[in-house]
Amino acid sequence: MEVARSRKGIFISQRKYVIDLLKETGILGSKPADTPIDPYNKVGSKQDSTPVDKGQYQRLVGRLIYISHTRPDIGFSVSVVSQFMNNPTKEHIEAAYRILRYLKSTSGKGLAFTKGSDRGIKVFTDADWAESLSDRRSTSGYCTFVWGNLVTWRSKKQSVVARSSAEAEYRAMSQGICEGMWLKRLLNELKVENLESITLLCDNQAAISIARIPVHHD
């Protein structure tokens, strides 16, 4: 972990760890990728992909999980490749290698923490509806900002199949607001004063409408 301090704030990255991993896997000389996951070819679309070494795959994904602690931009793609730990195939390890090729072009990125006037908590939520080809479950995603700084994020497959995009987004909102409430309680325990209310942001109008109605939703 590399930490840089300045008058503007603190910057945390894992550049050296990423470079070392690229060297070990032989990806350092490969062509970089613009995105950590292929937006046009979903992982799991190939039915007859060749099995690969399970131990090798698990070690690689484990190291990607470690890198994602300072790289929220690969959180979703890492959560996707993590779903195939038991029976990895060539398709899955190629998806993991794509993450590495993306890291090659963005090895210096990390987390920045700066001072600002914003004293609130903002929670951004989203979901992909029925995108998993194996079980058609959706994936929830959220990220939280405290005083303008990103502090927590998560990308996780939902436990049940959502029957509409509104339902998938609503479930993501519920997970996001739980995280926001936990952060607010934590800040209260730390005696942080002048804390503003939690702001929840979602891009699905149907889910927002459901959340505004004060009744129970199954």
| pLDDT (average), residues 93-102 | 96
Are 68 and 139 in contact, with CB atoms under 8 Å apart? no
For residue 203, pLDDT beyond 70: yes
19-77 pLDDT, tens digit per residue, is 999 999 999 999 999 999 988 888 877 777 899 999 999 999 999 999 999 999 999 99
The CA-CA-CA angle for residues 120, 152, 1, to 5°, reads 120
Query: Which CATH number applies to 116-212: 3.90.1300.10, 3.40.50.1110, 1.10.150.250, 3.30.420.10?
Result: 3.30.420.10
| Residue 128: its H or E element | strand 121-128
| Residue 144: its H or E element | strand 139-146
The DSSP annotation for 150-196 comes to EEEEEEEE-SS--SSHHHHHHHHHHHHHHHHHHHHHHHHHTT--S--
Quick one: tokens of 48?
A: 């007859």
pTM surpassing 0.85? yes
161-196 pLDDT, tens digit per residue, is 999 999 999 999 999 999 999 999 999 999 887 777
pLDDT band at 124 (very low <50, low <70, confident <90, very high): very high
Domain boundaries, the chain: 2-110, 116-212
